[in-house]
Structure 1
């Protein structure tokens, strides 16, 4: 039951962030020029694309969310360290939790990155979304590292 409530909480947060972003896209869409910055180097735009590029990143995020969701449903397909009959369920549960965390945080990072592009194109401040994206990426990396150490030290 713990995994289900964890999944429900993170999925709910992801959906709320997506809805917020879609509302912002709807509101700002008329103000956005036809060509927008889609890549930056040292804070300066160095590549440009059509404003419809803002629709691509959420679609990629949804696709990745779905793909990682498939792995979450089949934890036995993943590779494990020190997997035994005694710790199989424990490792599967931990793998599900990590995959759910990755699934939702990667999706949120993609939405925040897109929100940052949207705000830049609309001429608004966007620094907080970049910071949050980097913070969430750090959370994912720390979680994966923790899980790797936990699995390596598992004896039974």
Structure 2
């Protein structure tokens, strides 16, 4: 069953954890857009547009650049939603068969779901960080943000791979 076209197409209900992740991710995405709308007229002409690995602003840009992040977030939501809907197209080991397909699909779909929503949390955090710095609300997130963001992305991948290896 190596070919994706030979794989069974199964209808698997979303799990409670997937719904919770979707609520968290969508709330962060929508919340960041609402925050942008609320503070838009208060934002200075120049806002942080890029950060170095230490979390320091290394490029300033016009406030319109802040709109790029919610747009990227929306595109991620749409694209990853499609990937979630068709888990039979994901990459699986040769041992995938009609008996274990549901376990493989669910595991893979959960991983995609978590990555989609973690990306929304990260993008919303960057928007909040940029607004906070532009409006001098407090201390920047600093050098811990990049490692924390990377860690939060790689953990679901590692857990997904470990769980996949346990599927018989």
TM-score (norm 1): 0.84
* Range with bigger deviation, 132-141 or 85-94: 132-141
Equivalences, count: 155
Residue in structure 2 matched with residue 122 of structure 1 by the alignment: 135
Q: CA RMSD in A?
A: 2.5
Residue in structure 1 matched with residue 83 of structure 2 by the alignment: 71
User: What is the CA–CA distance in structure 2 between the aligned matches of 1:86 and 1:71, rounded to whole Å?
Assistant: 22
Query: Cα offset for 1:2?
Result: 6.5
SS of the aligned residue for 1:52 comes to helix
Residue in structure 2 matched with residue 87 of structure 1 by the alignment: 100
Does structure 1 residue 19 correspond to structure 2 residue 24? no
Query: Cα offset for 1:149?
Result: 2.3
SS of the aligned residue for 2:60 comes to strand
User: What is the CA–CA distance in structure 1 between the aligned matches of 2:142 and 2:76, rounded to whole Å?
Assistant: 20
Query: Cα offset for 1:138?
Result: 1.8
Structural mapping, 1:135-146, within 5 Å: 135=148, 137-146=150-159
Among candidates 49, 60, 66, match of residue 48 of structure 1: 60
SS of the aligned residue for 1:15 comes to helix
Residue in structure 2 matched with residue 109 of structure 1 by the alignment: 122
Return 5+ residue gaps in structure 2 as ranges.
1-11
* Range with bigger deviation, 55-64 or 143-152: 143-152
Distance 1:46 1:137, change over 3 A: closer
Distance 1:15 1:142, change over 3 A: closer
